[in-house]
Structures are given as structure tokens and as C-alpha cells.
Structure 1
Amino acid sequence: MEPDLDRFTSRRSTVYGQRGVVATSQPLASEAGIAMLREGGNAFDAAVAAAAALNVVEPTSTGLGGDVFALYRTADGDVGAMRACGGAPADATIANVRAALAADEGVDGDEPGEVEMPATGTQTVTVPGTARGWEATAERFGEFGLDRLLRPAIRYAKSGYPVSEVVADAWTQAETLFETDHAREAYLFDGESPSVGQRVTLPRLGDSLERVAEAGADAVYTGEIGEAIAEEVQAAGGLLTVDDLADFEVEWPEPVSTTYHGAEVYELPPNNQGLIALEALNIAAEVGAGEYDYDAPERVHYFAESLKLAFHDGHRYISDPEYEAIPPLSSTAWARRRAAEIGERANHDVGFGVPDANAEDADTVLLTVADAAGNVVSYINSRFAGFGSGLVAGETGIALQNRGSSFSLDPDHPNRIAPGKRPFHTLLPGLLRFDEDDWAAFGVMGGYMQPQGHLQVVSNLVDYGMPLQRALDEPRWRYRESGALAVEPHIDGSVGAKLSRRGHDVTTLPASRFGGAQIARWRDGVLSAATEPRKDGTAQGY
């Protein structure tokens, strides 16, 4: 049963700090980040420490077997991005993957659509980027090495911690996902997922984190852990090799951005879905969505229709840019043309265009940090849907991601699988510049909720001037793959009825389906942060 968040009233307030602020979806992870700041580290150190801790205290959403990304503004005023995102194995041609899947399913696989990319399983495993991403962040920007930054995570894994409510609910997935004895032993306790408040240890994962702390990321990519990952995948019929792991490198792409009502919004470029958020903001600006009263149904209608068009375009074009050309989706000229298609009623001629329905309700972890020097970091770490592929690498305790499920076996699809190709990626850290001395790191977790959440949180802050915590507390909406417009139970009932009269297929979903946001702000030396009321987390100041 999902936690009862249908009727919540956030009693939290925006948190302030003098030396630093950290916001995460789990209190113990926030404490790990604050500990690094107290010891003399900066926002980047705190981000890595908190992310590593989340691998342990929220293993249902993230892990060493996944990817990690960042958007940041440094104390020197530089704006940048980090992408540690692995691609498909070198042998992952359409023909090879189709043949492997067909053999598993006992069919020929020659007919179009006879086999498709599954949601889980060995063919969905892509090269994990997490360990290299942590190391690159610490080496380029941090004060400490991984030997120090991973200490809290190792302590939680080996000494134990009590499981929080939302995490306990998500953990039940492991009972049916994990099939091998070593996977079930790593994440189940007497064959069952932990209950709320149960104290658990993850000693195998703790051992792997210790190896990374001692030897660096090479432990994962060229050492024993990497060998265990490759052996696990290949034993299940997959194509990933130790060479695929050894060849992986972190990237530092230029962020993409747009100006929305005077504020500069930064997102990650493709293969991530940041262009969807930017296009939606540009279209919304064209149709004046943020000019209506906050409780007006017109506000939701015009924002939602802007998002619908952006989703259609993003899911049609966004892919790995090294393999596919991508049009200028974030340009104002593009938005102007698309805005002309929006009217007073819902447009049902534009499909959502989901490249992978498995991502609709996927979850992850995003954390935000700011320090007194002016470093502001949005950091997101995930293995995609829950515990990922269902594979755990030998005795390492590392659950492997299923990000490859976003690939297609259709040779004409922009996200068709290819050797080394990175899949369409949902992960979206965000960065917001209000003015030269006012920056916020933010993000909204949860598969295809992420750009929808970015649109709503940015508007709450920029159009309506909300305090940080209220900007996260306000009721949300989201488009579904079915075309329905979902709203939270605590939204004004008259708004839903009026949206229905505009032609929207309005449905109500539990609040837990509307993402998990974090935000941290540096405003001329004043630090503030807020956390998601729909999650277990906390924002802490120091």
C-alpha cells in the first residue's frame, strides 16, 4: 500500500543556513551532506556524500549500478554540467539484442514487433556511470577524496539504519523483482522487504563502497567489481563486457538554457530530456500561462497544453546527439510556432509520444546543496525504475540499472539501440538564475514527471513569487501516457471540473505519483533550502 499522502498539509518551512544547506529525500543522507560541510568540505563534497548515502538508505531509487548527473554554479561564477551516463554494450546491435530476446522467449524474432525491449532483465543493463561521476565531481571541485566522502554511506551500510516510510513501501518491489539467491540475500531479510522503522544492514554493498573508497572508481570499471558486473550480465545472456566498463568516461557538456520571465533556467542537453522542460517554458510564456490567478483553471490548462506539445516533440526527437540530429527545441522561434496550436480546449490530436512507458512512474533521487562561498549544486543519481534490471552483480550488493529499456528495436526509431549509444535519459537536475547574485539548484524526481515538475516549480517561484517550501508544497498536475491529465487529490475540486469542461480527461492520482522535489538557494550569501513533502526527506542548514 502506498503511503497515505492524499491529504497532506506541509508543516515545513523554508530552511536557512549560514555555511551551507542540503536538501535530500532521506534525512540520513541530508545529515551525511551536512557532515561534510561541517568538516570543511564544500557543496560538491556534500553532494557526493549525500548521493552515496542515498545508495544505502534509499536503495529503492539509486545505486552504484546506475548513472549520475549534475548542474552547478561554482563560487567563481562558472555554470556547468556533469554527465556520467553509460551507453549500450559494444555488441548491442539490434540484431544481437533481438536474437537474444527471441531465444529467451522461444520465438524466431524475425517479425517486426515480435520481440521488444523489456522493462527489466539483462538486455536492459547499460554501463553504470555512478562511481566515475562521484570521483570526477570530487576531483574537479571538491576538497575531499572518496575515502572521506563515502564514510557515512559505509557506516550506514555496515552498522545499520532504520528504514523510512516511503522507502519501505518502495522496497516491496524487490520481493518479486529479484530471482537469484544472491540478489535476494543482498536486499531481502528472511525473504521479505523491511517494514517501516526496521533496522537493516547492507554489508555486501558496504564492502563495495569500501573498495571504491580505497581504490577509487577503478574498482568498478577495471577491478573485481567490474568483473562481477560483467559476469552477472553475461551469465544471464547479456552482452556487457569488462571492456565496455573500462572504456567509460565522464562528460562535461554545456548546459542548455532559456530565459523565462527574466530568470535563466538551465537544463541538461540530450540525451537527457531537458529540452522538453525548456520548450514547455517557452511555449507557456508565449501563451501567457503564468499571467492567470494561481487558482484559475486557465493557468493549469495553458501550462499543461504547453507541456503536451513539448513532450510530443521531445519524445520524437531527443536521442543521443552523437547518433541523431536534434532540432532547436528550446528556441523561441520553435515555441512561437507550437504556441499557435494551443486554444481554449484540450488538443487531443497531439500524442504524448512516450518512448518508454516503463519510465512513467519511475523514481530516483535528486539532491541540492549550496554553500556560503556561492557553490550551488543540483545532483541526481539513479538506476531508473526502482531496483533496476533485477540483476545484482555477484556478491557485490550492486543492483544494476535497467536504463536500456528506453531503447527501441525499431531500426527507424531515433532511440534505436546501437553499440555504445546512450539511451534517452529522464534524469533532470535543474539550475535557476534569478539575477547575478541569486541562484537556485532544484529538481523534481520521478520519470516523466521531471520536466512537468520543473515547469510547475519554476513558475511557482518566478511567476508567483512563492517561498521555496510553498513552491514545492502546492498541488501538482501531470500528463499521463494515456493522454489523461492527472491531478492531486488536494487540488481545488472546482479546478478539476472546469478542466474537464475544457476537454481534458481529468483523473486523480495519489500524491506519491507527483514526483519528489528538492531546492537549495544562494542569494547574495544568504542560504535557504526546501524539501518535498511527498517524500521522507529533510532540508538542513548549517
Structure 2
Amino acid sequence: MRNFQQPTRSAIYCENGVVATSLPEATTAGLEVLRAGGSAADAAVAAAAVLAVAEPQNAGFGGDSFYIHARADGTVSAYNGSGRTPAALDPEAIGEIGFDSAHAVTVPGAVDALLQLHTDHCRLPLDRLLAPATALAEQGYLVQPRVAWDWQMERERLARSPTAAPMYDRAVRPGDRVVQPALAATLRAIAADGRRAFYEGAIADGIVATLRALGGTHTAEDFARHRGQAVEPIRTRYRDHDILECPPNGQGMAVLIMLNLLSALDMPQVWRDPVAYAHLLAQVSVLAYRERTRWAADPDFTQIPLQRLLSAEYADELRPLLASEHALTPALLDETPHKDTVYLSCVDRDGNAVSFINSIFTDFGSAIYDARSGLLLHNRGASFSREPGHPNALAPLKRPMHTIIPGMAMRDGRPVMPFGVMGGHYQATGQVQFLSALLDLGLDPQQALELPRHFCFRGVLEVEETVPQRVREALAAKGYVVRPAKMPIGGGQAIYIDHARGVLIGGSDPRKDGLAGGY
């Protein structure tokens, strides 16, 4: 039970369905769909579309999406909705890809992923599910506080973009209304004609023209050939739960490596000492991210030794390194650390669960805006490695390493929790902190999401304001370069299914504007 004298919020407890998102309008849209008889997948489609409209710095149909769907009977499916580079791309001619470059825009996979979820698991027609998002785009949405804060942080960058400035170079405040008629028209087209409306014809041609005018090599054929990929989740076992992640090109493997390292430790005892816990989390992050940096890439282009990396034997080999009382030397990554994303969880009255994530990568993506479709385009292609011969090196028709990772926890063959943590590279470490707090300490989803956060990355240990000064000083004495976080570290949502009592327990991260809602 939480301390009711502290300025935190309670987890919600419901019976019939719960939706947890980072935006109130998205949670409302998902709940309305559940009340109308829709499934968790229906709620996810409706909520994701609203986020694509009203959280433009993080999400959109100009980005990529991944999801894991678990039926109440334990049947699991997952989908990799990331896009590939253009067929005509020449890595030698391009060189290093900047975050605002047209070459950073791989074919957006978000629409394909959303439509695949609808085809495979939804009950209601697509136009019904996209109607709330379409109305917000056409009539305008009210800017929420965290959205306004992020927007102003990126104001100078948006002002420099010749395509995005006319739409996004504005001094927004919480409560301002933003209208997007072009995006509303795109949503109507997708509702009417599905993936063909986006990947063939006028919308695709317009995006291609925008990118080619900025030096891109994209073609209409690149869009027409795009298909996401159904994938088999990778997994490990932690505290009697099966933890599922999407396989590479995502970084979910890092979560499983870290959990394997922690599984043999007395984590409740470690948690009692905040310094010991922060040190341990930093150590396992360094070790797991080293493997992620080495191996996370498009599996169509490289053989990834997942069986070994995710084995208990490999964790046993690495675990002695955790005995060090000093900071481990990190494997440096060759990309900027701060990315953002939206994540949502949905569970319906039947016990079906969806873990869904969408991203345009850095805030406002590439800052390339296609005015005809109303879409901001992502910049995930900037994640390719600059190292020649690296598994994640740039190549034509290749998917880059992805940071966005939906998670699903199963127990006794049934889904018990869709969960996810936003925040770019932090997502893997964030999932591990969340899962350990829930499964080792017995916290509820809301309590676990509200804990202070710290993240060891690129040789720096970032800490939020809520990390006590004595903890910071003790970590610095262990050799960490401790730095106050410039912005909140990540976000997150989760819904725990208490099968014994028939209760759904939802939480939503206070670092964002959203909430968990249910009935």
C-alpha cells in the first residue's frame, strides 16, 4: 500500500478492461472502444492513432511500430513494423547520416503494423477505430503540458527546418489548440482504403517527392514493397514469469540478458541499499548494452547468436563481473542518447492483452514534414552503425537497430502483463528496473513506474532529481561520472492481470501527460 501523504497517484483497479497511455485523449479513445464491445487490439488501434495526432513530438504514422498480442488462452503473436532503407541507397555516397537528413528516413512501418493488428485481432471496423484521431486532427487537439514542454525544447530545431517550420515553429502553451486538416485527410484515406492508401498512390508519392527534394533516394516502389514481419518473441524466465520481447532488430535482447544476470541474486536484499541497487543496475546495463551494441541488427543481414546470448550459461559467465565495486568500462555507442516514443497497454474483459509501441525516434523525428499528408517523418536510419562491417552497418533495403521494445509477461501459459518503458536507449534498463520492482519488491505497476530513475550510458550515470545527494556522492566514489538528467528519464505504462481475483491493475508514468483508465 502506498503512502497516501505522498504526492503520488494510485494504481487503478478494474474488472472489465483497462487502457494505459501517455495521453488522456488516447486513454479515453481506447476505453470508449472497449465499452463498445471492442477487443484490446481495437482499443490499441484507436489509442495509437490518437497518440499519432496529439503527441507529435514522439509518435506518428511517419514512424515505426512494434507490438506483442497475447490472447487470453496464451496464444502469442508479435509484429516488427520497422521499415527498410531505399533500394537505391548508396552507403559510400551518403557517408554519415545526420538526424535531420532525408537519408535517415526509412520507409515508415507504423501504418502497416497498425493495419496488421486490425486484420488479425480486431472486432470493429477500421473507420470506427480511427474516428477519434480523425476528429482531433480536423477539429484540433489541446496541447497537454508535457507535449508543450517537449515542443518548446525543440523550437530552434523546428525553426531551422524548411518543411516543418510552417507547421511546428510556434510558441505553444498547455491548452493551445492545434489543427491538422492534411493529417485528417490522410486518416480518412487509410480508414477507407487501408494500407494501399498509404503505401501506393498520392500519399506515398507525396512523401517520396518531399524526401527526394531533400536529397533522398526513395521511390514509390520502396513504399509499395514495404511489409512488416510477424516474428516469434524471444523470452526468458524471471521469478516464475515468462518475459517476452520482440527479437532483433530491436534491443529487447538486452532486457533478457539483464534479467538473466539478476535472476540468481537476492534482489530484495539489494534493493534495501539504494547505492548497491543503482550500482548493480548500472553494471548489468553496461554488460547487456555491450552485447546489444555488438549484435542488435537486421537479422536478414547477419547471424545473431541469440541462443547463447540468452542462455543461463552465458549469464553465469558474465555474473562474476558484477562483483566489482567500481564502475565497469562501457562499450561506447555511436549515436546520440536521447530519443522518445509512445507506449500503450490494453487489456479487455476477456483477458486479451496488447503491448504496443510507436516512435518517430528523436523528438519530432527528422523534422521533415510532408505538408500534403500532414506527416512528420522519423529518422530511425540515423541508428545505423558508422563502423564498416558492423552487423548494423548501413545497406540498401536494411532495417536499422531499434530501441523501441514492447514487453509482455506471461505466467502459467496466460498473459499477466503488457508493459513498456519509453525513453530511447533507456528502455531496456527501464524495463528491468520496472520488472524487478514489481516481481522482487511486490510493488504495483503505478508504484514501480514512479520510482526514481538512473541510467548508465556512454560512460555517464544520469540521475533524476529524486535520487538523493548521498546516493549520487557514493556512486561518484565508485568511479561513475554522475550527471543530473536534463529531462525526465523515460515514461511507461503497464497493466497487471490478477487472475486469482479477476482484477486488472493499471499504471501510467507521471513523467508524461497520460493515465490508466478502466471500467
Fold shared by both chains (TM-score > 0.5): yes
Correspondent of 1:183 among 159, 164, 169? 164
**In structure 1, C-alpha distance between the alignment counterparts of 2:402 and 2:460, rounded to whole Å:** 23
2:480 matched to which residue of 1? 504
**In structure 2, C-alpha distance between the alignment counterparts of 1:395 and 1:541, rounded to whole Å:** 37
Total equivalences in the alignment = 510
Q: Aligned-pair distance for 1:182?
A: 5.1
Correspondent of 2:15 among 18, 22, 41? 18
Q: Aligned-pair distance for 1:11?
A: 2.5
Deviation track 1:403-453 (CA, whole Å, cap 9, x = no partner) reads 000113442222111111100000011111244456001111011110010
Deviation track 1:142-200 (CA, whole Å, cap 9, x = no partner) reads 00232111100001111112111110111232553355655333x33xx4142111122
Query: Is residue 538 from structure 1 mapped to residue 515 from structure 2 by the alignment?
Result: yes
Q: Aligned-pair distance for 1:235?
A: 1.1
Deviation track 1:114-140 (CA, whole Å, cap 9, x = no partner) reads xx2212211101010111111110110
Query: Is residue 165 from structure 1 mapped to residue 145 from structure 2 by the alignment?
Result: yes
Query: Is residue 351 from structure 1 mapped to residue 348 from structure 2 by the alignment?
Result: no
Call closer, same or farther: CA 1:241–1:367 in 2, change over 3 Å. Answer: same
**In structure 1, C-alpha distance between the alignment counterparts of 2:197 and 2:298, rounded to whole Å:** 27
Correspondent of 1:520 among 495, 506, 510? 495
Q: Aligned-pair distance for 1:289?
A: 4.4
**In structure 1, C-alpha distance between the alignment counterparts of 2:362 and 2:173, rounded to whole Å:** 21
1:36 matched to which residue of 2? 33
2:344 matched to which residue of 1? 367
Correspondent of 1:78 among 72, 75, 80? 75
Residues 123 and 238 of structure 1 are in contact (CA less than 8 Å); yes or no, is this contact kept in structure 2?
yes
Paired letter, 2:507 = A
Residues 433-442 or 82-91, more deviating? 433-442
Paired letter, 1:83 = N
Residues 45 and 114 of structure 2 are in contact (CA less than 8 Å); yes or no, is this contact kept in structure 1?
yes
**In structure 2, C-alpha distance between the alignment counterparts of 1:135 and 1:231, rounded to whole Å:** 24
1:113 matched to which residue of 2? none
Residues 175 and 192 of structure 1 are in contact (CA less than 8 Å); yes or no, is this contact kept in structure 2?
no
**In structure 1, C-alpha distance between the alignment counterparts of 2:174 and 2:479, rounded to whole Å:** 42
Q: Aligned-pair distance for 1:93?
A: 2.9
Residues 335-344 or 287-296, more deviating? 287-296
Deviation track 1:252-271 (CA, whole Å, cap 9, x = no partner) reads 10001111122211111100
**In structure 1, C-alpha distance between the alignment counterparts of 2:395 and 2:299, rounded to whole Å:** 13
**In structure 1, C-alpha distance between the alignment counterparts of 2:155 and 2:376, rounded to whole Å:** 11
Query: Is residue 127 from structure 1 mapped to residue 107 from structure 2 by the alignment?
Result: yes
Query: Is residue 480 from structure 1 mapped to residue 457 from structure 2 by the alignment?
Result: yes
1:111 matched to which residue of 2? none
**In structure 1, C-alpha distance between the alignment counterparts of 2:178 and 2:251, rounded to whole Å:** 35
Query: Is residue 418 from structure 1 mapped to residue 395 from structure 2 by the alignment?
Result: yes
Structure 2 unaligned residues grouped into runs of 5+: none
**In structure 2, C-alpha distance between the alignment counterparts of 1:417 and 1:153, rounded to whole Å:** 35
Q: Aligned-pair distance for 1:202?
A: 1.3
1:27 matched to which residue of 2? 24
Paired letter, 1:31 = T
1:334 matched to which residue of 2? 314
Paired letter, 1:368 = S
Paired letter, 1:68 = S
Q: Aligned-pair distance for 1:491?
A: 2.1
**In structure 1, C-alpha distance between the alignment counterparts of 2:478 and 2:360, rounded to whole Å:** 38
* Aligned partner of residue 92 in structure 1, secondary structure: coil
Residues 361 and 448 of structure 1 are in contact (CA less than 8 Å); yes or no, is this contact kept in structure 2?
yes
Residues 94 and 409 of structure 1 are in contact (CA less than 8 Å); yes or no, is this contact kept in structure 2?
no
**In structure 1, C-alpha distance between the alignment counterparts of 2:344 and 2:334, rounded to whole Å:** 26
Q: Aligned-pair distance for 1:286?
A: 3.8
**In structure 2, C-alpha distance between the alignment counterparts of 1:381 and 1:317, rounded to whole Å:** 23
**In structure 2, C-alpha distance between the alignment counterparts of 1:477 and 1:442, rounded to whole Å:** 19
Q: Aligned-pair distance for 1:486?
A: 1.8
**In structure 2, C-alpha distance between the alignment counterparts of 1:10 and 1:311, rounded to whole Å:** 34
Structure 1 unaligned residues grouped into runs of 5+: 1-7, 99-115
Deviation track 1:85-136 (CA, whole Å, cap 9, x = no partner) reads 10111112312423xxxxxxxxxxxxxxxxx221221110101011111111
1:377 matched to which residue of 2? 354
Identity over the aligned pairs, expressed in percent? Answer: 37
Residues 364 and 383 of structure 1 are in contact (CA less than 8 Å); yes or no, is this contact kept in structure 2?
yes
Deviation track 1:298-348 (CA, whole Å, cap 9, x = no partner) reads 122122201110011111111111111212322111111111222232244
Residues 92 and 417 of structure 1 are in contact (CA less than 8 Å); yes or no, is this contact kept in structure 2?
no
Q: Aligned-pair distance for 1:214?
A: 1.2
1:87 matched to which residue of 2? 84
Query: Is residue 280 from structure 1 mapped to residue 280 from structure 2 by the alignment?
Result: no
**In structure 1, C-alpha distance between the alignment counterparts of 2:213 and 2:240, rounded to whole Å:** 54
Correspondent of 2:206 among 228, 231, 237? 228
Paired letter, 1:285 = S
Residues 267 and 440 of structure 2 are in contact (CA less than 8 Å); yes or no, is this contact kept in structure 1?
no
Paired letter, 2:278 = V
* Aligned partner of residue 70 in structure 1, secondary structure: strand
**In structure 1, C-alpha distance between the alignment counterparts of 2:395 and 2:355, rounded to whole Å:** 30
Correspondent of 2:48 among 46, 51, 54? 51
**Structural RMSD (CA):** 1.8
